[in-house]
């Protein structure tokens, strides 16, 4: 089994991938449900992958199976005969129960949790398939079928798909050791192939309109100034070029540093469209990924996967969230380093029509940039996203209420002001900024629904009004948040 990954390495890849996805689950109750059920669901999927490959279980399959668990969860202890029987008896792939909750949540609040889960599942199934160092055609077909089934449920619910699809066929390695795709090349797209939604440019909007949208964002005063200064720099460079004046080299790649929920993705999306409006980028779309979107689970496939993402982002901005995860692993052979080398080459090859923005916690992003000389030379502009203060958190909450057709009575307004000031003053390392506001809004709407449903014939005003009692938490925001993360 030359080239096969050890069970310990597989466990680390699995645990890291699931942990990275878990951070994107904004709803605490949903996150707890996922924590409880994900390992068992993934182990069932492993049975299906191995059955698809002929059902021939080896001791290494047993080691892999017993390594499918996350930190803090109980590890399985299956025996050889137990796993053989389970693989033979596997009855077929079914969507997990928590996936329906994810889709309902995404549909209600415009999130992408369920689409991200399809990506995670694809990667994990490929990881399980690589137990023997290769992914067979039959295994790849099974992986694609599972991903397609979940994607169809998202399509049925009208959930947008603006991320590059991870096609398992790209990752197939034949038994002879030859890849089905040339190493490092993205799969070609014929003229007859439909253009994925994620490749389509945003509707044309003038620079003035985009700057107005930037100004409307709550807080972020320094970031707004930095963006406008960057725009002026680009404008003057283009004017100098037009007049035949020398233009010093300049990198437009950016580092966004700050805590979660501070508007980094929103600003990145606006900046992509602004760059397009001033002629720097040809399309102006934003392609958002994290470590799991760049790093494959086994040797030789990360470059293919990263190149595929780069191809999707050409003409726009590639936004890498929690980019420090690419270099935060102790293993010198970690695939994140391969992703970085591939990314740096792509930035050089496509420097005229690709901008990369890396984002994450301030301290960790500093370590990330200094981990590779190539990163230091290409990322020399830093935008700092400060935490929202109490007044700004209140403003965000009021905006959510207005957007969703809710009003606050006088008592609720006063209570909310005190609540968000307390939330800000007592913030800790788990402080989620606008994410915490969104979670509080969702819980308030849920409590309001329980209250209004008990009324015999509620008026329009009663359907819209949030009272102070709807905002009250049984625990303090900090205590509840910490409990949800435990």
368-419 per-position pLDDT tens digit: 898 888 898 889 889 899 888 999 999 999 999 998 999 998 899 999 999 9
Beta bridge partners of 257: 360, 384
180-229 per-position pLDDT tens digit: 333 333 333 332 333 333 344 445 678 888 888 888 888 888 888 888 88
Quote the pLDDT of residue 298: 66
**What would the two tokens of residue 20 be?**
């990275």
Quote the pLDDT of residue 427: 86
For residue 173, the 8-state DSSP code is B
Q: Which domains does the chain have, with CATH numbers?
A: 7-180 (no CATH), 207-385 (3.40.50.300), 390-485 (1.10.8.60)
294-331 per-position pLDDT tens digit: 887 665 678 888 888 898 899 999 999 989 888 866 55
Q: Cβ contacts of residue 126 below 8 Å, gap of 6+? A: 135, 143, 168, 171, 296, 297, 298, 301
Element spanning 109, H or E: helix 97-109
Q: What is the mean pLDDT of residues 247-272?
A: 88
Main-chain phi, psi angles of 363, to 5 degrees: -65, -45
From the number of C-beta atoms within 10 Å of its C-beta (0-12, 13-18, 19+), residue 250 rates as exposed
């Amino acid at each position: 089994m030359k080239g096969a990954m050890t069970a310990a390495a597989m466990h680390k890849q699995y645990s890291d991938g699931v942990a990275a996805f878990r951070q994107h689950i904004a709803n605490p109750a949903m996150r707890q449900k996922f924590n409880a059920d994900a390992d068992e669901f993934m182990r069932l999927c492993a049975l299906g992958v191995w059955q698809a490959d002929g059902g021939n279980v080896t001791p290494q399959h047993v080691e892999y199976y017993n390594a499918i668990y996350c930190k803090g969860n109980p590890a399985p202890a299956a025996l050889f005969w137990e796993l053989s029987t389970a693989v033979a008896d596997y009855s077929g792939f079914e969507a997990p129960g928590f996936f329906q909750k994810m889709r309902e949540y995404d549909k209600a609040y415009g999130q992408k949790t369920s689409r991200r889960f399809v990506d995670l599942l694809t990667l994990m199934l490929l990881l399980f398939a690589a137990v023997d160092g290769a992914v067979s055609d039959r295994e790849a077909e099974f992986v694609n079928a599972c991903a397609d089934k979940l994607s169809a449920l998202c399509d049925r619910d009208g959930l947008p798909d603006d991320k590059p699809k991870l096609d398992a066929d790209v990752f197939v390695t034949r038994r002879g050791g030859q890849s089905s795709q040339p190493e490092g090349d993205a799969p070609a797209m014929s003229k007859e192939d439909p253009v994925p939604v994620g490749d389509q440019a945003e509707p044309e909007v003038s620079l003035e309109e985009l700057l107005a949208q930037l100004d409307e964002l709550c807080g972020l005063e320094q970031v707004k100034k930095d963006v406008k200064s960057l725009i002026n720099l680009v404008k003057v460079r283009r004017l100098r070029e037009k007049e035949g004046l020398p233009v010093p080299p300049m990198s437009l790649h950016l580092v966004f540093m700050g805590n979660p929920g501070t508007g980094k993705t929103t600003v990145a999306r606006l900046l992509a469209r602004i760059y397009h409006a001033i002629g720097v980028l040809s399309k102006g779309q934003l392609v958002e990924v994290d470590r799991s979107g760049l790093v494959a689970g086994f040797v030789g496939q990360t470059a293919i996967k990263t190149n595929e993402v780069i191809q999707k982002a050409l003409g726009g901005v590639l936004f890498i969230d929690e980019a420090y995860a690419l270099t935060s692993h102790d293993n010198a052979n970690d695939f994140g380093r391969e992703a970085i080398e591939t990314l740096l080459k792509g930035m050089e090859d496509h420097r005229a029509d690709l901008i990369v923005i890396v984002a994450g916690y301030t301290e960790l992003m500093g370590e990330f940039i200094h981990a590779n000389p190539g990163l230091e030379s290409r990322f020399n502009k830093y935008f700092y996203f400060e935490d929202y203060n109490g007044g700004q958190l209140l403003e965000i909450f009021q905006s959510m209420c207005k957007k969703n057709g809710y009003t606050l009575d006088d008592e609720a307004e006063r209570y909310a002001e005190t609540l968000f000031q307390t939330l800000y003053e007592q913030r800790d390392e788990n402080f989620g900024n606008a994410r915490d506001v969104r979670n509080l809004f969702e819980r308030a709407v849920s409590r309001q629904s329980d209250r209004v449903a008990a009324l015999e014939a509620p008026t329009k005003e009663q359907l819209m009004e949030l009272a102070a009692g709807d905002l009250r938490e049984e625990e303090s925001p900090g205590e509840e948040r910490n409990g949800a993360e435990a």
